[in-house]
Structure 1
Amino acid sequence: MNDIYYEDRGDLEISGAGKSGGGKFNRVEVSGAAKINGDIDCVEFEAAGAAKFEGNVKTVTYNVSGATKCTGNVEAETCNISGAGKIGGNLNSKRSNIQGSLKICGNLTGETIDIQGATSIVGDCEAEDFKCSGAFKIGGLLNSENILVEIGGKCEVSEIGGRTIKVKRGLWSVGILSKITKAIFNYALDELDCNVIEGDEIYLESTTARIVRGTDVVIGEKCTIQRVEYKNSISIDPSSKVIEQIQL
């Protein structure tokens, strides 16, 4: 519950197959196959089921579950998403917690991003702290100060940039959770596939990359790297393959 309250705003509650226009509210609570046509500006946004929102959502807390779809942008202080949702534009939230499967047709930005499951981002992903346990597909760049990826499926991104980057095989690599992730993305391999990885401290497992560039680099198990450029130190696991290594 938020402490923010506007006296000139009411609440919006829809259940079942109801419809409503957009507007400014304190609390929006939607369940079922409801539909809202228009932009929403509110303090609390709660949605469950197969709700659809034709427009943008601006809120303090954005909590959705089920197969909720928003055709526009979502801007929030805190974002909690579970189920199989879709955002047609950008998601900008200071704190994002994503569980299940989510497709973002624009960019994902914020301070902290925590993904558990399978997320597809058409554009870029940028945060101070990024953590993923499962699988992801990012069409553009992943840029974050601290990156932790626990692989449980196919992870794809064009370029990764950060200060500390750690990629390892996680619990999602085995068991029923891995099977669900692979079914969603139709992937068979548990690995990270990236063109360029650049950071200060880098640790990689199960990674295929063209260039890895860092200060201190550890190439762990089951990696295939075309070229490693390092400043201070490098370590390569015997199970991995590095074609070229250069000290800068």
Structure 2
Amino acid sequence: MNSDTGREIRLAGIGTVEGGRAERTIIDGMGKVTGDLDSGAVIVNGQATFKGSVQAEHAEINGLAGIHGGLRTKKCRVEGKLTVEESLEADEAAVNGSLTVHGPCRIGRLLSHGKLQLDALNGDEIRLELQGGSSIRELSARFIQTKASSSDLHGWQKLLPLPAIQNRLLAQTIEGEEIVLEHVTASLVRGVKVRIGPGCEIGRVEYTEQFERHADARVDSEVRLT
């Protein structure tokens, strides 16, 4: 990330700006950024479309944003809805609303309250508070925790098209060292320590050290690996 010192891209109202390198990029209103963007900070207050890829030290979305390329950042915060057409790579991310990534997704530490639509998510620490229906085909991390949200919609979530459906995560495979799941439907869960909580429907569990299953959970088969 090689942002130009001093240059600032700022759009207020409705309009289009060119990408390139900048120290800060701020969109207040409804804006479009053409070309790739390499910026120290990217802040959206409203609605933004990025026609290329985005690199940033820090990305903050307060509203709606779509990135036609990929997103690479150290820290990402979403208060609203973010859609990334290609890959997403972040050291840390906090989502309060909706995140959709069509390509591979690598997030070191993810805290999410809302809805996720991801193909493959890899990370170190993943904590998901499910609000509505989420889907992650492949989920892999050292520590994974999911639970259903106990709170009502708040903030930007009230403005998003989140249908009144069950708070649940659908996945094909979930793999990690320590896994604590609630309200998850998955074909395979594999880990060192695995706890299957209420509302889970799991096809097969493979574990090496510890396995727990809640009475209100269904596990078709469980195998201790040696």
What TM-score, normalized to structure 1?
0.85
Query: Are 1:215 and 2:192 counterparts?
Result: yes
The corresponding residue for 2:132 is 153
Superimposed CA distance per residue, residues 27-56 of structure 1 (whole angstroms, 9 cap, x where no aligned partner)? 1111111112x4321011111111111211
In 1, the alpha carbon distance for the partners of 2:153 and 2:122 equals 30
1:228 alignment partner, SS class: strand
In 2, the alpha carbon distance for the partners of 1:224 and 1:177 equals 28
Query: Are 1:225 and 2:202 counterparts?
Result: yes
Query: Which of 80, 83, 108 is the matching residue for 2:63?
Result: 83
The corresponding residue for 1:201 is 178
**Count of residue pairs the alignment pairs up:** 223
1:176 alignment partner, SS class: coil
Query: Are 1:170 and 2:149 counterparts?
Result: yes
Of all paired residues, the percent bearing the same amino acid is: 25
Superimposed CA distance per residue, residues 132-155 of structure 1 (whole angstroms, 9 cap, x where no aligned partner)? 1111101x2100011100111111
Higher strand share: 2
Taking structure 1 as reference, are residues 66 and 182 closer, same or farther at Cα in structure 2, changes over 3 Å only? closer
Taking structure 1 as reference, are residues 193 and 187 closer, same or farther at Cα in structure 2, changes over 3 Å only? farther
Taking structure 1 as reference, are residues 85 and 189 closer, same or farther at Cα in structure 2, changes over 3 Å only? same
Query: Are 1:188 and 2:165 counterparts?
Result: yes
- Offset at residue 76 of structure 1 (A): 0.3
- Offset at residue 199 of structure 1 (A): 0.3
In 2, the alpha carbon distance for the partners of 1:179 and 1:239 equals 32
1:46 alignment partner, SS class: strand
In 1, the alpha carbon distance for the partners of 2:42 and 2:4 equals 16
Q: Supply the AA of the counterpart residue of 1:195.
A: Q
Q: Which structure has the larger Rg?
A: 1
In 1, the alpha carbon distance for the partners of 2:200 and 2:97 equals 23
- Offset at residue 176 of structure 1 (A): 3.4
Q: Does the 8 Å CA contact 1:154/1:182 hold for their aligned counterparts?
A: no
In 2, the alpha carbon distance for the partners of 1:50 and 1:111 equals 28
Superimposed CA distance per residue, residues 42-96 of structure 1 (whole angstroms, 9 cap, x where no aligned partner)? 0111111111112111001111121111111110011111101111110100111
In 1, the alpha carbon distance for the partners of 2:4 and 2:156 equals 44
In 2, the alpha carbon distance for the partners of 1:150 and 1:62 equals 26
- Offset at residue 113 of structure 1 (A): 1.2
Q: Supply the AA of the counterpart residue of 1:79.
A: A
In 2, the alpha carbon distance for the partners of 1:165 and 1:176 equals 23
In 1, the alpha carbon distance for the partners of 2:54 and 2:42 equals 8
Taking structure 1 as reference, are residues 186 and 31 closer, same or farther at Cα in structure 2, changes over 3 Å only? same
Query: Are 1:239 and 2:216 counterparts?
Result: yes
1:221 alignment partner, SS class: coil
- Offset at residue 183 of structure 1 (A): 5.6
Report matched runs for 1:54-93 at 5 Å.
54-93=34-73
The corresponding residue for 1:26 is 7
Q: Does the 8 Å CA contact 1:111/1:129 hold for their aligned counterparts?
A: yes
Taking structure 1 as reference, are residues 29 and 158 closer, same or farther at Cα in structure 2, changes over 3 Å only? same
In 1, the alpha carbon distance for the partners of 2:164 and 2:84 equals 19
**Structure 1 residue ranges (4+ consecutive) displaced by more than 4 angstroms after TM superposition:** 178-183
Structure 2 unaligned spans of 5+:
none
